[in-house]
Amino acid sequence: MGGCGSKGAQTRSPGSSGIKMTNERSDESASGGKVKIILVGAGGVGKTSILLQFSDGLFSADRPPTIGVDFKSQDIKVGTPPFAKTVKLELDTAGQERFRSVISSFFRDADGVLLVFDLTEPQSLSSLDSWLVEVRKHASSTVEVLMVGNKSDLVEKRKVSDEEAQAAAEEFGLKMLTCSALDRPSVIRCLGTLATDILDSKRKRRT
C-alpha cells in the first residue's frame, strides 16, 4: 500500500510549510476539538500508508494489507484567521474483511470521509461509486467527503488522468485532490483541506 515505486526500508518525510502539524497544547478558544476522519477505498490504494505518513511521517513500500483496524491521532492547525483552529485529527481505516463486519460502527460519529483511489489502477476509481453508497447509507447526513487520488509519484505507471478523476468527482459532487503517501506535504494538504471543510461546515450550522 502507498505511493512509491521504491522498495525496502521505511523513509521519513519532512513536514509541510502550509497547514501545520503541532504537538503544542492550545488554549480552549483556539481549539477546534476532535475531528474524526475515516479512510475508505479499495484494497491496496494506500489508506494505511496515508494514515502512517500523516501521523508518524513514515512510509514503507512493503506494508502488508490491513487485516484489523488502524487508528492514529495527531494535532493539526487548520483554517485562516479569525477561524484558525488547532484540532485533534483522529484517523481510522479498516481492512476489507473487518470493514464489512463493523460498517455501522465504523462510520458512527465520523465528521469526514477520505474516499481514496489509486491513480495507477482505474478499477479503484470505478469502485468509488459503491463506496460512496456505503458512506451515504451509514454516515451522518452532515459528513464531509473528499475524493483523493493516491500514488501521484508513480508518474510512468499512472493510468487515471486528472481529467478523468475530476470528471468522476464532479459526477459525485465532490472535491478532488491528489497525493503520494511518500510525500508528507501532499498528505497533510489533503487531510487539512478536509478538516477545514469540516470546521467550516460546523461553524455554519451553529450560525
Buried-state track 136-157, b at ≥16 Cβ within 10 A, e below 16: eeebeeebbbbbbbbbbbbeee
Report whether pLDDT(35) > 60: yes
Cell of 172: 459525485
pLDDT in tens, 80-112: 777 677 888 888 876 554 555 567 777 888 999
Q: Which is more confident, 190 or 203?
A: 190
pLDDT of residue 77: 81
**Confidence (pTM):** 0.78
Whole-number percent of the chain with pLDDT over 90: 48
- Cα–Cα separations (whole angstroms), residue 125 to 77, 83, 142: 30, 34, 24
Starting at the earlier edge strand, list the strands of the sheet with 20-21: 20-21, 69-78, 85-94, 31-40, 112-118, 144-150, 175-178
pLDDT of residue 59: 58
> How crowded is the C-beta side of 28, counted as CA atoms within 13 Å?
0
User: Using an 8 Å Cβ cutoff, are 2 and 44 in contact?
Assistant: no
pLDDT of residue 107: 84
pLDDT in tens, 122-160: 999 999 999 999 899 999 999 999 999 999 999 999 999
Report whether pLDDT(37) > 50: yes
Whole-number percent of the chain with pLDDT over 70: 71
pLDDT in tens, 39-65: 999 989 999 899 989 887 865 665 555
Select, from the ranges 25-29, 103-107, 141-145, 203-207, the one with the highest average predicted confidence (pLDDT).
Answer: 141-145
Reduce the DSSP state of residue 76 to 3 states and report it: strand
The residues facing 40 across adjacent strands are: 115
Q: Which is more confident, 100 or 163?
A: 163
- Which structural domains are found in the chain, ordered by start? 32-205 (3.40.50.300)
Q: For all residues of the chain together, what is the average pLDDT?
A: 80
